[in-house]
Amino acid sequence: MVQRLRAGERPADRRHGVPPARRRRDRRGAAGVEDPRLLLPPAAAAHRRRRAGARGDDAVNLRNTPTREFDFILLLAAIGLTVYGAALIYSGSLTTYGSPGQALSHPVTRQAIFAAIGLVAMAAMSRFDYRLLGPASLALYVASIAGLLFVLAVGASAYGSRRWIEIGGTQVQPSEIAKVCTVIVLAKYFSDNEQKMKSLRVFATSMLIAGLPAVLVLVEPDLGSALVFGVIWLAMVVVAGVRPLHMLGLTAVVAALSPAIYAFAEGYQKSRIDSWLDPGKDPLGKGFNILQAEISIGSGGMFGKGFTHGTQTQLDYLRTQTTDYVFSVGAEELGFVGAMVLFGLFVIVLFRCLRVAGLADDTFGRLIAVGVMSFILFQVFVNIGVNIRLVPVTGVPLPLVSQGGSSLVTILASLGIVQSVLGYRRRRRRG
């Protein structure tokens, strides 16, 4: 059968050496019509093939999406939040400090200095190979625990809490540094035990890793920051692939112990819950700031009263207006539109971190991005929730916006580590 179908003699083009281009043109069935692909110079044809291949890969796998070594959208969103915060701090401190001028003690000046330090740290960490943090994770974790113990022993006290260490006239908050160190050590632990994530031992050990700094922060006392460590652990353990039965068991235990937890809570913690439920019981005391924040936000309307023209802010009815209640300042003076701009910037930061987690080449980098995103998201939710009376007062700052050097520098440095996860992926792909 095969022999009968074979040609009796070799084709003419093989015998006489007709160029391949002519054979392709003859198959098109259009005499004298050139194949447009044959008119392209070799370099252009190669470029076209590369573009077509890139488009095909992008459609199949997100991990093959071309990326830059530095996520400028994430950088611009972080800078936007920092500038937004500096503007609100200026307005909130105007009646007390006046214009910044040359005074280094002015809140805006100090915030600008910390922002510059944070941006330098972000740039440095973005060029640092994040994988080197893995071997150093245990040392970083131990150092952060030592810092928390040190602040309990000799730390500066304010508002009934011992949270800061005085270094050269600057207050450093070890709990902010401990958040990042906990993210790194958990990412290392989960990545090393990736094949054992269904084990109860791994689940329990990870709880102890996050629980130790949480307990030390709770003793300060700082319930809001202690809860941040729990959220970091929860987000990372879920992404790492925890066994659902373990999470259900933990949830049942926490629910069963909730009445006992409230019974043994500190007096100030119970007072905050009572004031949150009914601030009218003590309108000039514990409930004062809660009520004034509601008035500030409600009076802002669509476009606000104007920058530096908020009556609640400028007449000092709103307390701690550059820290815990900085969102109320923005809502009163910039209105609903200003609040939406703030939300939009936070959404950009969070989704860019989530994007890096999806593009990461390894579990360690993916979990770092998830951990950083989780504690930023939780702090945004809690701080704004306090301002709109969704949750009790906790003292958690609004990331990149509230006045505070430790929080600002730490978060910007954390975003630099997230940038490193993305940058390393690109550099390895180039190699």
pLDDT, one tens digit per residue, over 44-67 is 444 444 444 444 444 334 444 444
Q: What is the pLDDT of residues 128-138, one digit of tens each?
A: 999 999 999 99
Q: What is the mean pLDDT of the chain?
A: 85
Q: What is the pLDDT of residues 89-115, one digit of tens each?
A: 999 999 888 777 656 788 999 999 999
Instruction: Give the contacts of 209 (CB within 8 A, at least 6 positions apart).
Output: 141, 182, 185, 186, 189, 233
What three-state secondary structure class fits 243? coil
Q: Are 243 and 203 in contact (CB under 8 A)?
A: yes
Give the sheet arrangement for strand 156-158, strand by strand.
156-158, 161-167, 170-172
* Burial profile 381-416: b = 16 or more Cβ within 10 angstroms, e = fewer: ebbbebbebebbbbbbbbbbbbbbbbbbbbbbbbbb
What three-state secondary structure class fits 172? strand
Q: How many residues does the chain have?
A: 431
Q: Are 378 and 370 in contact (CB under 8 A)?
A: no
Rg (CA), the chain: 29
Q: Are 191 and 364 in contact (CB under 8 A)?
A: yes
pTM of the predicted structure, to 2 decimals: 0.82
Q: Are 162 and 221 in contact (CB under 8 A)?
A: no
Tokens of 256: 């069963």
Q: What is the mean pLDDT of residues 70-89?
A: 97
pLDDT of 81 > 90? The answer is yes
Instruction: Give the contacts of 181 (CB within 8 A, at least 6 positions apart).
Output: 137, 140, 141, 143, 144
Instruction: Give residue 66's pLDDT.
Output: 45
Q: Are 85 and 326 in contact (CB under 8 A)?
A: yes
Instruction: Give residue 428's pLDDT.
Output: 58
Higher pLDDT, 156 or 33: 156
Instruction: Give residue 102's pLDDT.
Output: 59
pLDDT-based confidence at 26, cuts 50/70/90?
A: very low
pLDDT of 247 > 70? The answer is yes
